[in-house]
């Protein structure tokens, strides 16, 4: 289907799907609210789109019955980049904040969390190893990834899976949980130091 798409198809989709309804602006910096509103009105106030918006639904993510592995060879690349992932929770799921905290412990806190401690520092298998929990109205992805030497791929995958399974099987200690909470609250002001960071938070 990608090869069949032409410029006229993109234009037709834009004309119908890109609309002002529900659009949001994040405007930050040294500007008064009234002036910001006036600028939006000046540049976008005339925008009208005929017809009804396209309806869409985000289909549920299908659970994998077994792990799938794919290896993509790149001739000019010396390092192997390992990515492990699975469908995660929607941002509106009642357990999302708990999952986000688990992700901080797994692969973000300090020098890349438990993944960094084990795969990078203790075993010396990776240049980096961390995790990321994506969120959207529908299920995003929960990923762990590492940059390793080609000869270390299998060992790195084994070590990463070990930490992921340990997070499922063993309760997190109170000390580790308190450290992760302090990291989240302590790093928040840093995220709000720039206009870009404030806009992203909004």
Name the residue with higher pLDDT: 137 or 172. Answer: 172
pLDDT digits (tens, 9 = 90+) for 5-21: 999 999 999 988 899 98
Name the residue with higher pLDDT: 58 or 129. Answer: 129
Helix axes 153-169, 96-107, angle to 10 degrees: 140
What pLDDT is recorded for position 100? 92
What pLDDT is recorded for position 109? 85
What pLDDT is recorded for position 98? 93
Name the residue with higher pLDDT: 137 or 117. Answer: 117
Task: Enumerate the H helices of the chain as residue ranges.
Answer: 7-17, 33-44, 96-107, 109-115, 153-169, 174-191, 195-201
pLDDT digits (tens, 9 = 90+) for 87-99: 888 888 999 999 9
pLDDT digits (tens, 9 = 90+) for 139-180: 889 999 999 999 999 999 999 999 999 999 999 999 999 999
pLDDT digits (tens, 9 = 90+) for 29-67: 899 999 999 999 999 999 988 888 888 777 777 777 888
Average pLDDT for 63-78? 87
Q: Exposed (0-12), middle (13-18) or buried (19+): which is 197, by Cβ within 10 Å? A: middle
Q: Are 87 and 141 in contact (CB under 8 A)?
A: yes
What pLDDT is recorded for position 65? 85
Q: Exposed (0-12), middle (13-18) or buried (19+): which is 147, by Cβ within 10 Å? A: middle
Average pLDDT for 177-190? 90
DSSP state for residue 127 in the 8-state scheme: E
pTM above 0.85, yes or no: no
Q: Any idea what the Cα angle at residue 74 is, between residues 70 and 79, rounded to 5°? A: 90
């Amino acid at each position: 289907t990608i090869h069949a798409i032409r410029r006229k198809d993109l234009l037709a989709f834009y004309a119908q799907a890109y609309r002002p309804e529900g659009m949001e602006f994040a405007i930050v910096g040294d500007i008064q609210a009234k002036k910001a509103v006036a600028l939006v009105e000046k540049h976008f106030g005339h925008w009208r789109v005929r017809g009804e918006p396209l309806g869409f639904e985000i289909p549920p993510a299908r659970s994998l019955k077994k792990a799938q592995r794919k290896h993509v060879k790149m001739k000019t690349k010396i390092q192997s980049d390992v990515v492990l992932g699975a469908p995660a929770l929607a941002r509106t799921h009642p357990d999302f904040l708990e999952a986000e905290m688990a992700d901080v412990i797994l692969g973000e806190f300090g020098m890349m969390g438990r993944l960094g401690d084990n795969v990078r520092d203790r075993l010396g298998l990776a240049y980096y190893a961390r995790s990321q929990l994506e969120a959207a109205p529908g299920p995003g992805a929960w990923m762990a990834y590492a940059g390793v030497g080609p000869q270390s791929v299998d060992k790195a995958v084994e070590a990463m899976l070990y930490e992921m399974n340990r997070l499922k099987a063993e309760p997190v200690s109170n000390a580790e949980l308190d450290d992760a909470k302090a990291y989240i609250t302590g790093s928040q002001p840093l995220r709000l130091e720039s206009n870009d960071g404030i806009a992203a938070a909004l």
